[in-house]
Amino acid sequence: MTAGTTAPKPPGADLPEHPDHLWRDAEPRRAYDVVVVGGGGHGLATAHYLAKNHGITNVAVLEKGWLAGGNMARNTTLIRSNYLWDESAGIYEHALKLWEGLEEDLDYPILFSQRGVLNLAHTEQDVRDSVRRVEANKLNGIDAEWLGPDEVAKVCPIVNVSSDIRYPVQGATFQPRAGIAKHDYVAWGFARRASEASIDIIQDCEVTGFVTDADRVTGVRTTRGTIAAGTVALCAAGHTSTLLDMLGVRAPLQSHPLQALVSELLEPVHPTIVMSNAVHVYVSQAHKGELVMGAGVDSYNGYGQRGAFHVIERQMAAAVELFPVFARAHLLRSWAGIVDVTPDASPIVGHTPYENVFLNCGWGTGGFKATPGLGWAFADTVAHGRPHPLVAPFGLDRFVTGALVDEHGAAAVAH
Amino acid sequence: MQLIACPWCGPREEIEFSYGGQAHVAYPEHPASLTDEQWAHFVFFRDNPKGPFAERWSHSAGCRRWFTAVRDTRTHRFVSPPEMTS
Amino acid sequence: MSRVDGYGRIDRSRTVTVTVDGTAYTGHPGDTVASVLLAHDARPQNTSVKYGRPRGIGAAWTEDPVGLVQVEEPFPEPMLLAATVEATDGLVVRGVNGQGRLAEVPDTARYDRRHTHCDVLVVGAGPAGLVAARTAARAGRSVVLVDDRPTAGGTLTGTETIDGRPSLEFVADTVAELAALGVVHLQRTTAFGHYDDGFVLALERRGDCVIEMGPRTRQRVHRIRAGRVVVAAGAIERPVVVEDNDRPGVMLAASARDLLHRHGVLAGREVVVFTSDDAAYAAATDLADAGARVRVLDARERAPQAGRRRCEDRGIPVETGTLVHGTRGEDRVTAALVGALTSSERREVPCDLLLVSGGWNPAAHLASHVGGSLAYDPVIGAFRPGELPPDVAVVGAANGTFALADILREAGGPDAPVAPPEEWPEPTLVLWRTPGDPTRQFVDVARDATVADVERAVGAGMTHPEHVKRYTTIGTAHDQGKTSGIIALGILAELTGRPIQEVGTTTARPPYTPVAFAALAGRERGDLFDPVRTTALHAWHVAAGAEFEDVGQWQRARHYPQAGEDMTAAVLRECAAVRTSVGIMDASTLGKIDVRGPDAPVLLDRLYTNLMSSLKVGRVRYGVMCGNDGMVFDDGTVLRLAEDRYLVTTTTGNAAAVLDWMEEWLQTEWPDLRVRLTSVTEQWSIAAVAGPRSRDVIGTVFADVDVSNEAFGFMTWQDTSLDGVPVRLARISFSGELAFEVTVSSWYAPALWERLVEAGAPHGITPYGTETMHVLRAEKGYPIIGQDTDGTVSPHDLGMAWAVSKKKDDFVGKRSYARPENRNPLRKQLVSLLPTDGATRLPEGSQIVAHCDDGRLPPAPVPMLGHVTSSYHSAALARPFALALVKGGRERLGEVVHVPVGDELVAARIGESVLVDPEGARRDG
């Protein structure tokens, strides 16, 4: 493209070219069969699968700001399915299988790179929990291994597995099929396919209320006018409570800042993904070479898309403790998303008290990795008016019956 | 990283405090008489407003007293001084 | 050499040698790597990230998008700007081809933090910052002044006049006055992040030297809490995008001037200055004075009168209405491609340095970090601060005030020093680019992103700046778009036909400049990563050869291997000692909470599942606590010390959480209860003496205590003393054996422990660790909260319905037991598992499946019945055994299930959870 290209390209410079057209910035029409509220990964994936799997294309995706500008633009792009409980393993493994074919499906280079994830164990109880999860994964048909410290060092030589650190690495679970993908490209890939299917993607269109008729919602009020809707699918992540408040529906959601950060571009040092709950770090090295790292969730509710710095400092301490070679990497940029967390750290998907309004929220730190799986199952849910079996365990009613899917208590692995 | 005005100690660093979520959610007088749904709402359901939010805080690395305060969740700033009431 | 005599604040009496890309260059203290290279007409061997084109030095400070180097010596550090790396003797750097390199060995340098509080923090020690700091300090405020460059003065070169004197004299006097007024003044200190309530983080670079006392702190993060934050961070010069503007030899105009006055370096001999703003005229005249041949091309129709006159005085040609369209050259600029605004004709003007200036962008990043808004000002072609949070001010160039006289007035108010007003300025022409081939017009030189890339993004449907940024990667490099961000917005506005204020902006986020991970980690590394808690008896355990395990922050003795023993052998030996004679364990880490007040019984009745009010003084009761969800949260023993006083013990890991939990209920829900809670975990140490001979040991040490079963029954306690030191004895057993817990003030714990060990010697008293304790309790079916439970287990699931009061109307968690899921007969229940081969120890965490009659697992997904929570070799049973949570477990007693272990299926029989002494005959000795 540019003249004078002579020197060899350095590694990591080869980001793919984007397509010449991504999506049509649509004006809202008066009515749609399905109105998806939220133009993030989940909303766009739902739109794509509504068209692809169910032939439903009279669909609008409403985005209050710029497309995929919420958590989709702010996450650390981890993809894995090594969850403890059958219910979680089901939806995340379904998602992972879709990830494995997503480049072809979307015809978009989403840079999906299956480089494996290590979940480190630092205490005897970590080891028990890890073995428990690995064994459960295997029985669920999910690739998983338990590795001792020496094997951890083989998979990721820069992890400090010596016994002289504060919480020595006792081993790790390893899921080889886990990976990363380029978050923006994933969103744009879904948006492009949805747009090609003549689904309307409408930006700068904030939902301000709902038009209801008894136990149905007939329309969505927005900053760009009222839009009639046959079915409404809520995919608003951290902003879901605001929408539910308009509907008078309660859900056990709390929105918290979740911070992440990147370093400058570095020569490849980190071949996989490493997560440590005990020491609170998760890190991968993205395609261009930057280290991408997530911090813990900030303690208080907040919609400000910024968090407290002590969380980042603690994160850096953990990173340097586990990866001594990171000492002089530089924090280049930090940011925060808004994660909607539930009491059992599992999502809420399914019916609402309104018969034609379906809910998808509460993914906490797990939303990105679920994107295609959730979109696929939620589209099916919307198309058939009942929860798809993969999301059925995640209904709002579980908090009443007590049938929780407790991923933070038992699995000790969030994110 | 805010300063939080503990009503007993004065302004202190955010790291000295623990968050207790929504304030003014009273323990039901007769849990046994509640429906499962009512009980679930007490146990699990809390408001999550985008805007002013009455919350509980504990000065856990200080005087260890609980207090309530109203904070705007959009700006993260406290909008009314914390109250000494529990 | 391009070093100019008579210029620069460098120490020419000394030299330093810096090696860049294998070539040694000499420079002087006060130089940067960039100034050393430019003094030798050299550049780092950089090539661009995408197209592999050569890159030089583009600016004199942090805004440089191109001049990156990798430091190799004294210690590898990736991706630093040559313009910001101070030249020190022996420094070795090389150019960067897109990616930096991390060291392969750990960084042993020291990093730390300092907390500072002040009335006023001033960021930037240029004219605005100095005056703002002086004004505040003179008013008696406590002031901190930070500035990222080595010396104060900002962009002042010494050619300006302040209060009738050369500006650098004013700077020196002001710095001295600030010191006298007690201002904390830190140079080489970058304020990189601004958070709520005046919290600013600043990184101080203290150098790599090692002093005799040991390593000096290399970098320090100042955590500054200020009553008021004054941002006086100056402005960043804005280039104009022209064809091939990425070529070495293209530089910001003010940077060339800065290099001359700061380092005595002339960045070029044949200089073309292309400007649409007045400030570049000073660069033109200063470089000419220093010996360069200079030509000014001004895009505007009118040149500023004073600037033109000063140029004419020096014979500098000034052409107005003239544009630079591009550059020529191979590895560096050899000519500028020039044409009149109104003409399509182009001519080449030979030069070795093209200076560009399109105006200035206020550096108000620190105001944006904390939520300050920005408003586009078409007059300056940049965003300037709009609405600011309380107690934040932005002054000087950071506020869009560019003339020195105005800056001083804005920063100092009535107390301000004065400078001559600018003479007949011409307004800036806002110019993002000149006409040319968009594929060769670099918007973000660091990312190799061109105007054509922005055009493609718009063509693909992108209209929001964030989308364009992500599509093109503009503004994502090490400089975070300090020079490119606004230009990308301007071009996007042009392409989409919208005013720039409608296009919006991307958000400035911390850090302002990159900060090393280690600097942020500070001292929180190694043992200081998290506090290590040890008991008063720790030294004894170490001397006895104990292996330790981390339990929360505590280090607990896990077992005491003797020569030749592995853990299994040691634990079997320790277990046998307890079951046959006597053992001693340090139980000091158990959480201990003193619960005192007339309503203490009421509080405990509400928090424990069982009754505590009925407990008699002098007695002990085991208790279980649940959350509101009815799931087991903690357990422990409760001693009733008096009618109005209990001592509650908790699990080691949960001590703080339980105290918090109790306080929360007490303060927020039942403030009417007259109870006080006090943690006494650290104050009391506990030695658990367990085994059939424990009575002998206790009786020997405490001769005046009647330790008979009749006088000292199970689950009772008695106070006594030893040599005048109060001691509490309690008949509590976590092993099923006759056992005593001996509690003493931690001051006396080592002495008491020695006495117990001495008294036990005739019985072969054996110290045992947590692993042995775990085996002994598992043989009795006693769960460990957090190991045999996981937050989804109710007391009933543990077979502890006996510990759930039916008498109490309510207690925390009770209502949840009535939920449908709690009545599910397939809930997981705690049972034992005995491998039928009598030999296999099932790995803890193993999953349990139904018996596979053909000896093979069915295809996935295989339904799981539960998992192994605890598993050990038992000395008492002479076989391995396990505890497990199994769906409907108590309905399956006797059933054989399979446990996949590696590639094998191990058969195991489900049994009652209590395996040793189910009738409880041993507890009384």
Residue of A255, A303, A312 to mutate, testing the B interface (most B Cβ within 10 Å of its Cβ): A303
| Residue B70 C-alpha, separation from nearest chain A C-alpha, in angstroms | 12
Reported confidence tier of residue A11, pLDDT bands at 50, 70, 90: very low
B39 touches chain C (CB under 8 A): yes
How many angstroms separate the CA of residue B35 from the nearest CA in chain A?
A: 9
Pairing of strands C110-123, C217-231: parallel
Query: Which residues of chain A lie closer than 8 angstroms to C514, CB-CB?
Result: 263-264, 330-332
Contact flag A402-C845 (C-beta cutoff 8 Å): no
Q: Collect all residues of chain B within an 8 Å Cβ-Cβ radius of residue C196.
A: 1-3, 76-77
Q: Tell me the average pLDDT across C846-855.
A: 96
CB under 8 Å to C254, separation ≥6 — which residues? C60, C155, C237, C279, C280, C283, C357
The whole-number pLDDT of residue A380 equals: 98
Chains that touch A (3 or more CB pairs under 8 A): B, C
Cα nearest neighbour of A311 on chain B: B1
Phi-psi region of A345 (alpha: psi -120 to 50; beta: other; left: phi over 0): left
pLDDT of residue C574: 98
Which of C80, C102, C773 is the mutation pick for testing A, counting most A CBs within 10 A?
A: C102
**Secondary structure (DSSP) of C436-463:** S-GGGBEEEGGGTEEHHHHHHHHHTT--
Q: Which residue of C has its CA nearest to B36?
A: C819
Residue C818: strand, helix, or coil: helix
pLDDT of amino acid A307: 87
CB contact at 8 A, C735 and C687 = no
pTM: 0.95
Closest Cβ opposite residue A331 in set C520, C551, C791: C520
Look at residue A325 and tell me whether its pLDDT is greater than 80. Answer: yes
ipTM value, please give it: 0.96
Task: Tell whether the model's pLDDT for residue C447 goes beyond 60.
Answer: yes
Nearest to B86 among C195, C371, C668 (CB): C668
Helices A41-54 & A183-196 angle (0-180, nearest 10): 40
Question: What's residue C215's pLDDT?
Answer: 66
- Segment A366-371 shows an average pLDDT of 96
Interface test mutation site (partner B, options C113, C115, C195, C197, max chain B beta carbons within 10 A) = C197
- In chain A, which residues have their Cβ closer than 8 Å to the Cβ of C861? 86, 139-141
Complete edge-to-edge strand list for the sheet that includes strand C896-901 = C847-848, C866-874, C879-887, C828-835, C904-911, C896-901
With a cut of 90, say whether residue A6 has pLDDT above it: no
From B3, B31, B40, residue closest to C810, measured CB to CB: B31
Q: Is C432 left (phi over 0), alpha (psi -120 to 50) or beta?
A: alpha
pLDDT given for residue B80 in this prediction: 80
Contact C548, C533 (CB under 8 A): no
Closest C-alpha to C609, from C592, C597, C596, C621: C621
Instruction: Select the more confidently predicted residue: C70 or C506.
Output: C70
CB contact under 8 A, A252 and B46: yes
Q: What is the mean pLDDT of residues A71-97?
A: 96
In this complex, the residue of B18, B44, B77 whose CB is nearest that of residue C196 is B77
Phi, psi torsion values for A250, nearest 5 degrees:
-105, 145
Instruction: Using the predicted structure, report yes or no on whether residue A354 has a pLDDT greater than 60.
Output: yes
Q: Report residue A415's pLDDT band, with 50, 70 and 90 as the boundaries.
A: very low
User: From the CA of C627, how many Å to the nearest CA of chain B?
Assistant: 9
Partner C contacted by B32 (CB < 8 A)? yes
Q: Find chains touching chain C: ≥3 CB pairs under 8 Å.
A: A, B
| Distance from C-alpha of C863 to C-alpha of C850, rounded to nearest angstrom | 8
Nearest to B53 among A250, A301, A308 (CB): A301
Residues in CB range of A220: below 8 A, 6 or more apart: A35, A37, A62, A207, A209, A210, A211, A226, A227, A229, A232
Q: What is the DSSP letter of C533?
A: B
Give the least confident one: B40-44, C56-60, C468-472, C502-506.
C502-506
Size of interface A-C (CB pairs under 8 A): 283
pLDDT digit string, tens, across residues C538-562: 999 999 999 999 999 999 999 999 9
- What's the start-to-end Cα distance of chain B, in Å? 24
Is B62 in CB contact (< 8 Å) with chain C? no
Strands A59-62 and A31-37, by their bridges, are parallel
For residue A250, list chain B residues with Cβ-Cβ distance below 8 A: 41, 45
Q: Which residues of A touch C77 (CB under 8 A)?
A: 328
Query: Tell me, what's the pLDDT at C422?
Result: 83
H helix and E strand count, chain B: 1, 6
What tokens appear for A376 in the block?
Answer: 């696929």
Question: What was the pLDDT predicted at A101?
Answer: 97
Q: Which amino acid is at A185?
A: Y
| Residue C506 confidence (pLDDT) | 72
| Cα–Cα distance for residue pair C453/C434, rounded to 1 Å | 16
Cα dist from C577 to C486, C560, C586, C732, C783, whole Å: 77, 13, 16, 18, 22
C636: alpha, beta or left? (left if phi > 0; alpha if psi -120 to 50): left
Contact B15 A343 (CB under 8 A): no
Name the interface residues of C facing B (CB cutoff 8 Å).
195-199, 225, 371, 628-629, 660, 663-664, 667-669, 671, 809-810, 814-816, 818-820
- What integer pLDDT is reported at residue B86 of this predicted model? 45
Cβ atoms within 10 Å of A234's Cβ, excluding its own = 26
pLDDT band at A409 (very low <50, low <70, confident <90, very high): low
Q: What's chain C's average pLDDT?
A: 95
Q: What is the pLDDT of residues C115-161, one digit of tens each?
A: 999 999 999 999 999 999 999 999 999 999 999 999 999 999 999 99
Read off the pLDDT of residues A155-211 as tens digits, 9 standing for 90 and up.
999 999 999 899 999 999 999 999 999 999 999 999 999 999 999 999 999 999 999
CB contact under 8 A, C815 and B32: yes
Instruction: Give the tens place of pLDDT for each residue, A59-69.
Output: 999 999 999 99
Residue contacts between A and B (CB atoms, under 8 Å): 60
Mean pLDDT across chain A: 93
The residue-averaged pLDDT of A69-87 equals: 94
Contact C810 B65 (CB under 8 A): no
Q: Look at residue C455 and tell me whether its pLDDT is greater than 60.
A: yes
Residues pairing with C184 in the sheet: C144
Angle, alpha carbons C263-C268-C271 (nearest 5°): 125
| Mutation target among B17, B36, B45 for the C interface, most CBs of C within 10 A | B36
At residue A283, the pLDDT reads: 95
Rounded to a whole number of angstroms, the distance from the CA of A234 to the nearest CA of chain B is 16
Question: How far apart, in whole angstroms, are the C-alpha atoms of residue C49 and residue A228?
Answer: 49
End-to-end CA distance of chain A: give it in Å, rounded.
40
The whole-number pLDDT of residue A1 equals 38
Partner-chain residue, chosen from A252, A301, A303, that has the shortest CB–CB distance to B44: A252
Mutate to test the interface with B, among A206, A207, A301, A398 (most CBs of B within 10 A): A301
Closest-CA residue in chain B for A397? B37
Question: What does the pLDDT read at residue A8?
Answer: 43
Check pLDDT > 90 for residue C88.
yes
Q: Which residue among B44, B73, B74 sits closest to A399, beta carbon to beta carbon? A: B44
pLDDT of residue A280: 79
Q: Among B43, B56, B75, whose Cβ lies nearest the Cβ of C628?
A: B43
With contact defined as 3+ CB pairs under 8 Å, the chains touching B are: A, C
Asked if the model's pLDDT at residue C211 lies above 70, the reply is no
Q: Tell me what pLDDT residue B84 has.
A: 67
Rounded-to-10 torsion of CA C304, C309, C315, C318: 20
Question: What's the whole-number mean pLDDT along residues C422-430?
Answer: 90
Residues of B in contact with C667 (CB under 8 A): 65-66, 86
Least CB-CB distance to B75: which of A300, A304, A399? A304
